[in-house]
Amino acid sequence: MTDIVYSPDGKFMWSGSEWIPVPPSGNQTLNMQDSVVGGDVVHNTVINNDVDAVTSAVISALERLGIVNNHDDNEQIEELTEIPISPDLEVGMHVEYFSPTNNSWLDRCTVIKINNDGSYDVDVPKSSGIETKQGLVIGSNPGNIRRADDALELGDRVLVNWKNYGTFFPGKIAEVQPHHTYMIHFDDGDVESGVPPSRIAIQPDSKAAQQYVKQISTEEQELIDAFMVFDKDNSGTINSQELFQILTEMGDPLQIDEVVEMFEEMGIPPNSEINYKDLAKIMVQPFEAKKEVIIQDAFIEGDILKGFVYGHPKLGDTDVRSSTIQSISYDNRATARIETNNTVYVVGPTGWKVRPDNHPFNEPSFAAGQQVKVEWNGGWWDALIREIHGGKYFIHYVGFDSSWDEWVDDSRIKAN
């Protein structure tokens, strides 16, 4: 990894073509627009190296740049959440109404009609009497309605849109809180309080749901394991300078001035710490085709693959420790394809630090004197192996004179 070159006064850095300002340092005022959670609400937050504030700022910036949350899993999520936590309401059912005027939920409201388009007419009690609101829908925004009772119970297994960033993670209801919100204990150990029903779906006991939970969990752990390469003291964080280098030097790197602008805009000090577990969560993208990644200096420990990867879709070029190996296959040229839960690692014939026991180069695939089939000009012909040397085979075609004898590799041989 190339060290960043700073000017003697520490105020500028070399972009490769010009000197540009370094990211800001010290106590910074962060002007962060939380477009995901709060619409157009702008938060003014003093970071002062606060891990949660810096992490939120980085996530917001990565979203703005389109680096994360640029995928669409809505259809897949809908398939998994067949049992909504807010089922269709019935006439006479009590609901709460989010008053735009008061900016608060009003209780003791009653459904009086279900319209053909699925909306509801609701009687809302006011000091001046009953006011009927028409065409209301279930939701969490001003003008919406919600159930007036708790739809979930302690211990219910759920899928939760974590921090409203768009990806659902498995967990359970740990506490029923005021105003029909819930505390969630996620399977990975994270806790989130005050989660509204609009971000929760009951976890169905289906094969698709089990596959989703397994994939989302293993990809998150795979990312965390990769980030841990930079966490030398096991603090659970990486330094903003390390993230700067990841963004500007690895995978499909961003321009240095672009990342400097991002850090400056978000008020991120150069020596602040970032929670990489939160970064891993926001970078998870389930239900995609498995990425193929080239790995060098590869070796297997137990059922885990280790080595140095090139062009990792999330982390670029870095050391990696894979999730559990599912299968290993070799092609005719002894190139290995090692499939894990979310990634297919490709190891060339010379890409091993320690070759596995079943590697084709460990022993000849065929023996001298063996009769085999050999490919020639698109067809397969009977032949005998005369000699073996350096992974190649000197063969004689049965029924032809010795002028046709030739050296071939095992890509042209198969058992008779």
- The reported pLDDT for the residue numbered 386 is 92
Q: Span 114-130, mean pLDDT?
A: 89
How is 310-335 classified by DSSP, letter by letter? EEETTTEEEEEEEEE--EEEE-TT--
Question: Rounded to an integer, what distance in angstroms lies between the CA atom of residue 163 and that of residue 181?
Answer: 13
Q: How far is CA 69 from CA 64, 281, 373, in A?
A: 9, 11, 52
Question: Rounded to an integer, what distance in angstroms lies between the CA atom of residue 411 and that of residue 280?
Answer: 41
Exposed e or buried b per residue across 110-119, where buried means at least 16 C-beta atoms within 10 angstroms of its C-beta: bbeeeeeeee
| CB-based contact 186:192 (threshold 8 Å) | yes
| CB-based contact 101:121 (threshold 8 Å) | no
- The reported pLDDT for the residue numbered 87 is 54
Looking at per-residue pLDDT, the higher value among 125 and 203 belongs to 125
Q: Is residue 152's pLDDT more than 60? A: yes
- The reported pLDDT for the residue numbered 111 is 93
Q: Which residues contact 116 (CB under 8 A, 6 or more apart)?
A: none
- The reported pLDDT for the residue numbered 253 is 72
- The reported pLDDT for the residue numbered 26 is 38
Looking at per-residue pLDDT, the higher value among 210 and 191 belongs to 191
Summarised one tens digit per residue, pLDDT across range 3-58 is: 666 665 565 666 666 666 665 443 333 332 332 222 222 233 334 557 777 777 77
Q: Span 158-177, mean pLDDT?
A: 86
Q: How far is CA 238 from CA 62, 87, 243, 271, 278, in A?
A: 16, 43, 7, 10, 11
Residue carrying structure tokens 């959670």: 37
Helices (H), 228-327: 240-249, 256-266, 276-283
Summarised one tens digit per residue, pLDDT across range 226-271 is: 788 888 888 888 888 888 877 777 666 777 877 777 777 767 776 7
pLDDT tier at 136, thresholds 50, 70, 90? very high
Question: Rounded to an integer, what distance in angstroms lies between the CA atom of residue 154 and that of residue 172?
Answer: 8
Q: What domains does the chain contain, in order, with CATH numbers? A: 12-69+230-283 (no CATH), 78-202 (2.30.30.140), 291-362 (no CATH), 371-415 (2.30.30.140)
- The reported pLDDT for the residue numbered 31 is 31
Per mean pLDDT, which of 65-74, 285-294, 318-327 is the most reliable? 318-327
User: What DSSP element (H or E) covers 406?
Assistant: strand 406-409
Q: Is residue 79's pLDDT more than 70? A: no
Percentage of the chain beyond pLDDT 90 is 18
Looking at per-residue pLDDT, the higher value among 56 and 78 belongs to 56
Exposed e or buried b per residue across 40-55, where buried means at least 16 C-beta atoms within 10 angstroms of its C-beta: eeeeebebebebebbb
Query: Angle formed by the axes of helices 276-283 and 207-227, to 10°?
Result: 140
Looking at per-residue pLDDT, the higher value among 26 and 78 belongs to 78
